[in-house]
Structure 1
Amino acid sequence: MANILKRFGDIMSANINALLDKAEDPEKMIDQYLRDIESDLGKVKAETAAVMATETKAKRELDECTQEIDKMQRYAEKALQAGNEADARQFLEKKATLVKNQESLKQSYDVAVANAAKMKEMHDKLVKDMESLQAKRDAIKAKVAVAKTQEKLNKIGSSVSGAGDAMAAFDRMEEKANRMLDEANALSELNASGDSIDDLTKKYDSDDSASSVDDELAALKAKMGL
């Protein structure tokens, strides 16, 4: 019983907070604590029932003794009425013995009543504590659920950040590709802006030859009167 009460004391005190801080999974730990407490509470109920049964038994024995005393008193009176003083004396002696026993039974009954009251009070308190722990468990599980959701969001946020880095890298690659394309286009324009030396040489060589033939043809026509 002392161990059960100590367990409840530890759990209901701030000690449970330290234990939960060390736990890898607070949900599982609080569930295990509740299972242990439910088991302990069952033992307390059984112990309380036993103490209450002892009280009931003590009350019954005290009542039976009291009834027997009253019975001896009545028989003593009847014996005297019948003129049997010796019989009356025996009944009174028996009554005296029962009275002494009654005092002992009364003491036992008083102790049983006190014990039953304490156990009942203890049982009721533990039941309330159990209800408080169940409420605390629900609160802890709610916090754990929020924490797990936050962890998921953090992981997603990290992934999004990574995607942002990748996007920046692609932007840089695109910029480089655009620069390469611009350079290629510029070079193409430069290449198309004029004729090569060979082309120019051929052009002028061709023009000089044609001009000489034309001049000679004109002179021949003039000589022939054509």
Structure 2
Amino acid sequence: MSILKRFKNIMSSNIHALLDKAEDPEKLIDQHLRNLNKDLGSVKSETASVMAEEQRAKRELDECRADMDKMQNYAIKALEAGNEEDARKFLERKANLTDKETELNQAYELAASNSAQMRQMHDKLVADIGELESRRSMLKGKAAVAKTQQRINKIGSSISGAGQSISEFGRMEEKVNKALDEARAMAELNSGPQDDIKDLTAKYGGSSVNVDGELAALKAQLANKE
């Protein structure tokens, strides 16, 4: 039947394998659910039609077998009444019904097989939809946790970057201090050597001027006393 060919991929699909290979499982589940829900309406309608065909074939088969039983009973009653010719006619009709019963039985078996396949496909479709609904909720929860973790990781990276900046600043400070020390050393070198003699001259020169002054003052005091 065309419906079985049209939906045979439903029977062979492996949602677990699809999810494992998917780059975005959440989007895949949403898309697969849309497809399956769309197919479910068609599968339900076709399943009901196939099941009705099975019931019709079964009913025709049962009616044919009931007619065969009737012909058998009529033949027995005709023989009991002594009407062999009538019994022959009933048995001939039963023989014709036997051929029809064979054809009807084959049709019924095919209809029953189709119905079983459709019911199996319908049940699998319903089960897949239920599983995907459950997995979608689970995946959305996991996706929310993953996004939170990604934000935390990004903040952690920023903090790490700030630490590196502080470390770089420390190295820059060391370079500045080193440059300052070198500049001070260069300034001392540029100032030239100290003149010790000049310092001593200033020291003793200043002291000699003070002694002479005091000596003159004493002489003046003595002269006044005389």
Give the TM-score band, short-chain normalised. Answer: 0.5 to 0.7
Residue of structure 2 equivalent to 1:5: 8
Cα distance change, pair 11–34 in 1 and its aligned pair in 2 (3 A): farther
In the other structure, the counterpart of 1:225 is 225
How many Å separate the matches in 2 of 1:104 and 1:39?
Answer: 37
Matched residue count: 210
Which residue of 2 is the match for residue 26 of structure 1?
25
Deviation at 1:34, TM superposition (A): 2.4
The 3 A distance-change label for structure 1 pair 88 and 131 is same
TM-superposition CA deviations, 1:69-111 (whole Å, max 9, x none): 7888999999xxxxxxxx9999998887666555544443333
Q: Distance in 1 between matches of 2:172 and 2:109?
A: 94
Identical-residue share of aligned pairs (%): 46
Pairwise CA distance, 1:219: 1.6
| Residue number in structure 1 paired with 2:153 | 154
Amino acid at match of 1:167: I
1:37 — aligned with what? 36
State whether residues 53 and 111 of structure 2, in contact with CA within 8 Å, keep that contact through their aligned partners in structure 1: yes
- 1:121-200 residue pairs with structure 2 within 5 A? 121-138=120-137, 140-141=139-140, 143-173=142-172
Cα distance, 1:29 vs structure 2? 1.7
TM-score, normalised relative to structure 1: 0.61
Question: What are the superposed Cα offsets for residues 160-205 of structure 1, whole Å, 9 maximum, x if unpaired?
Answer: 2111111213334555677759x98xx9xxxxxxxxx999977766
Where in structure 2 are the equivalents of 1:22-101 lying within 5 Å? 23=23, 25-63=24-62, 101=100
Report what 1:190 is aligned to.
Answer: none
* Structure 1 residues not aligned, in runs of 5+: 79-86, 188-196
Q: Which amino acid aligns with 2:219?
A: A
1:119 positional shift: 2.1
Deviates more, 1:166-175 or 1:61-70: 61-70
Using the TM superposition, give the Cα deviation of residue 149 of structure 1 relative to its aligned residue in structure 2, in angstroms.
Answer: 3.9
Equivalent position of 1:118 in the other structure: 117
Structure 2 CA distance for aligned equivalents of residues 224 and 125 of structure 1: 142
Residue in 2 that maps onto 1:108: 107
2:216 is matched by which residue type in structure 1? E
- Residues 54, 68 of structure 1: CA spacing in aligned structure 2 closer, same or farther, 3 A cutoff? same
RMSD: 4.8
